[in-house]
């Protein structure tokens, strides 16, 4: 397990109320045949080794945990059938998904669960897949989407069991300890080799190395600046348990977003963040509480094109201050753009993995302490995952929508996830109902803020 993956594992161990789970809710045009549904999952199990693996902690907590094949793997435990209560509408589906998302995964088993959900109105069905964040990040979850689905009108390849990446562990505590410590030594050796090779690289390419060192230094400086920023008190972040969930969804046509961002000469992320700031500002005013800024965590994809199918976490992150107190959309957008451009310029998001990688040298108890201290330092999180352009089908049923979700935690009562699918931006909104008792207003105000920018772009 890499240090970034382990950070999510240790964070949950340090604070059990923190459930680092990501999920996807697939809405299907009809219920799949049982045989086709099982074949779809068997294909994913054959292609994605991680779905058959569980976590083995390092002996005495010294070193990183490791993924190992679960000798007692039982697909019947991980895949379940549920039925919605009447009338089987979107609200009933989201309320059921919220309960499933809030329930922790069994840490002794492979860290995922899947649910086929029937009883939706108009004969439709749903598929809900939840995974521990140590298994995969949002972008990496597309590998699971590819493993279980096919472009409409095509036929999936037959299952082919993936090859083991390493031999099974030796039996007994001694053998397991040797295997885990061996992998830890291998990880540290790779880091040491990179450090040792730096002088030779500098000698061969002095100018390029100097530029890289300068970019890295700027990134670390920006990342440290984010880490030392004081917490921003959100008047809505009540001292709740952080255990409850409320899910809401929205869908925006991608061509609509393109027509807005192109005339304004902004990125899609800037448009989303500016709209989110406008929505949260309006929501606070409706609740008659005042806030000038809210801290927002923005994950950044660090995968190369060849890493689209890789699991694990290859993500950086940076923090921006959402100007929720600014009502003028021009000024609000300008503040957002200034911060995102600064984050891109100093590469602070890309520097985050360097910090996490250094945690490979830190004992597990210290990593748990770091994870505990990191929780609750932001008020909201917003992540955007590039999905797939073409419509997909799963087990013979057409996928109408795929809504992504990530879990809230105490002190961070709102997490918004976006995924592009078949010409639409699919939006999943997870809120803590103790802090946000009327979360449907967030969705409505988010749409209103986007319409405001649409008016600016079209001159309406």
- Cβ contacts of residue 267 below 8 Å, gap of 6+? 261, 340
Lookup result for tokens 């709102």: 414
Sequence length of the chain is: 460
The whole-number average pLDDT for the span 42-65 is 85
| Residues 339-376 as b or e (16 or more Cβ within 10 Å = b) | bbeebeebbbbbbbbebbbebbebebeebbebbeeebb
Please report the sign of the dihedral spanned by the C-alpha atoms of residue 432, residue 433, residue 439, residue 440: positive
Q: Which two tokens stand for residue 384?
A: 């955007």
**pTM of the predicted model, to two decimals?**
0.81
Distance CA 46, CA 90 (A): 32
- Picking from 316, 312, 336, the residue whose alpha carbon sits closest to that of residue 326 is 336
Q: Return the top range by mean pLDDT from 29-43, 168-182, 204-218.
A: 29-43
DSSP string, 204-238: H-HHHHHHHHHHHHHHHHHHHHHHTSPPPPPTT--
Judging by beta carbons within 10 Å of its beta carbon (0-12, 13-18, 19+), is residue 35 exposed, middle or buried?
A: exposed
CATH class of 223-386+412-458: alpha beta
For residue 449, the model assigns a pLDDT of 97
The whole-number average pLDDT for the span 140-167 is 67
CA 8, 12, 18: angle at the middle one, nearest 5?
105
Calculate the average pLDDT of the chain: 80
Terminal C-alpha separation, the chain: 52
| Residues 417-429 as b or e (16 or more Cβ within 10 Å = b) | bbbbbbebbbbbb
Judging by beta carbons within 10 Å of its beta carbon (0-12, 13-18, 19+), is residue 279 exposed, middle or buried?
A: buried
Q: pLDDT of 254-305, one tens digit each?
A: 999 999 999 999 999 999 999 999 999 999 999 999 999 999 998 865 544 5
* Phi, psi at 25, each rounded to 5°: -110, 110
SS3 content of the chain, % helix, strand, coil (to 5): 45, 25, 30
Q: How far is CA 192 from the centre of its chain?
A: 30
pLDDT at 164 over 50: no
The whole-number average pLDDT for the span 30-39 is 92
Q: How far is CA 358 from the centre of its chain?
A: 22
For residue 333, the model assigns a pLDDT of 97
Distance CA 276, CA 283 (A): 10
The whole-number average pLDDT for the span 15-26 is 87
Judging by beta carbons within 10 Å of its beta carbon (0-12, 13-18, 19+), is residue 306 exposed, middle or buried?
A: exposed
């Amino acid at each position: 397990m890499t240090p970034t993956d382990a950070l999510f594992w240790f964070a949950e161990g340090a604070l059990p109320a923190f459930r680092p789970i990501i999920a996807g809710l697939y809405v299907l045009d009809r219920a799949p045949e049982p045989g086709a549904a099982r074949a779809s999952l068997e294909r994913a199990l054959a292609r994605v080794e991680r779905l058959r693996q569980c976590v083995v902690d390092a002996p005495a907590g010294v070193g990183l945990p490791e993924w190992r094949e679960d000798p007692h793997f039982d697909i019947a435990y991980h895949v379940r059938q549920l039925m919605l209560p009447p009338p089987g509408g979107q609200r009933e589906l989201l309320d059921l998904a919220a309960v499933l998302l809030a329930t922790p995964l069994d840490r002794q088993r492979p860290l995922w669960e899947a649910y086929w959900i029937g009883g939706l109105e108009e004969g439709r069905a749903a598929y809900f897949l939840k995974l521990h964040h140590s298994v995969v990040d949002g972008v990496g979850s597309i590998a699971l989407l590819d493993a279980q689905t096919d472009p409409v009108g095509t036929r999936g390849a037959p299952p082919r069991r993936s090859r083991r990446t390493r031999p099974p562990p030796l039996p007994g505590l001694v053998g397991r300890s040797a295997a885990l410590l061996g992998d830890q030594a291998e990880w540290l050796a790779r880091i040491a080799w990179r450090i040792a090779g730096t002088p030779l690289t500098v000698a061969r390419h002095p100018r390029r190395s100097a530029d890289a060192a300068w970019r890295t230094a700027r990134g670390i400086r920006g990342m440290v600046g984010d880490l030392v920023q004081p917490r921003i008190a959100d008047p809505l972040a009540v001292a709740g348990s952080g255990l409850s969930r409320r899910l809401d969804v929205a869908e925006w046509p991608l061509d609509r977003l393109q027509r807005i961002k192109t005339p304004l000469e902004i990125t899609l992320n800037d448009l989303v963040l500016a709209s989110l700031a406008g929505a949260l500002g309006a929501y606070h005013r409706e609740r008659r509480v005042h806030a000038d800024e809210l801290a927002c965590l923005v994950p950044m994809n660090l995968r190369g094109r060849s890493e689209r199918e890789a699991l694990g976490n290859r993500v950086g992150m940076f923090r921006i201050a959402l100007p929720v107190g600014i009502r003028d959309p021009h000024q609000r957008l300008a503040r957002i753009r200034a911060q995102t451009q600064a984050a891109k310029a100093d590469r602070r998001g890309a520097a985050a993995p360097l910090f996490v990688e250094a945690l490979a040298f830190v004992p597990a108890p210290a990593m748990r302490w770091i994870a505990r201290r990191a929780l609750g330092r932001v008020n909201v999180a917003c992540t955007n995952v590039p999905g797939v352009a073409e419509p997909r089908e799963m087990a013979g049923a057409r996928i109408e929508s795929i809504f992504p979700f990530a879990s809230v935690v105490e002190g961070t009562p709102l997490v918004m996830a976006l995924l592009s699918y078949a010409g639409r931006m699919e939006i999943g909104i997870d809120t803590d109902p103790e802090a946000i008792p009327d979360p449907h207003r967030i969705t409505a105000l988010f749409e209103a803020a986007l319409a405001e920018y649409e008016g600016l772009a079209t001159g309406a």
